[in-house]
Amino acid sequence: MKTNPLNRQSGFTLIELLIVITIIAILAGMAVPAVNAVMKKAKETQARAAVHGIAVAVKKYQEEYSRLPDPNATNTTTDTTIDTDTTNEMIAVLLGKNTTYNPREIPFYDPPIARSAANGLITTGGKYSVVDPWSTAANPQYYHITLDYSGDHTIKNPVKTATPASGAAFNAAYVAAELADLAAEVVVYSDNDPKASSRKPITSW
């Protein structure tokens, strides 16, 4: 007696199942680099917005008070680079939280709140800092602000001599192509991804 084909149980054979799994694995392997590239670009865009935002905030402060902010009271005549960490009051000044150096309490800067210790404002014990998109709780990364305290409207390019806080050095070809002097009174930059093999900083210039 012949078996009716309609009575056969439907389902995948082992070969068919292996083929499907292989196709899924190939597609996943193709998708991961694309996703990583998108995430990298997004972080670079966030950092670029932040460095420009900080630079603009400092310029607005300068327009309001006719001087550059000097929260460490150095009164120096030498161009100085400081970080957006809690070792100085720069972020507090720009937020309007420091009445000594911003007596009118004007908020010149409005950063996003950091999420998972990255990309934004962190408040700790009344102290303020701003971290970049590659920051982590274990390895916080701050922006660097160089100020023209010398008053000559020129800043020695900090990338030429800077050593990133952690990880690989800056791309040598990029550094070599950079101008030695920048026509500015404030510049801001981020070290970029510390895991990159040869990284290029994200700059405001």
Q: Tell me: the pLDDT tens digits for 134-156?
A: 999 999 999 999 999 999 999 99
pLDDT of 74 strictly over 90:
no
1 falls within a domain = no
Is residue 192 within 8 A of residue 200, CB to CB? The reply is yes
CA 142 from centroid of its chain's CA atoms: 8
Note the pTM of the prediction, 2 decimals. 0.82
> Tokens representing 6?
């309609």
Band of the pLDDT at 3, cuts 50, 70, 90? low
3 falls within a domain = no
Among all chains, which residue has been given the structure tokens 């806080």? 165
Look up the domain containing 85 and give its range.
15-203
Strand partners, 201: none
Is residue 146 within 8 A of residue 159, CB to CB? The reply is no
> Tokens representing 10?
């439907």
161 falls within a domain = yes
pLDDT at 16: 76
pLDDT at 24: 82
Which pLDDT tens digit goes with each residue over 20-69? 888 887 877 776 676 788 889 999 999 999 999 999 999 999 999 999 99
21 falls within a domain = yes
92 falls within a domain = yes
56 falls within a domain = yes
pLDDT at 77: 85
65 falls within a domain = yes
Cα dihedral value 70, 73, 74, 75, nearest 10: 70
Percentage with pLDDT > 70 across the chain: 91
How many domains does the chain fold into?
A: 1
136 falls within a domain = yes
Q: Compute the average pLDDT of residues 148-173.
A: 90
For all residues of the chain together, what is the average pLDDT?
A: 90
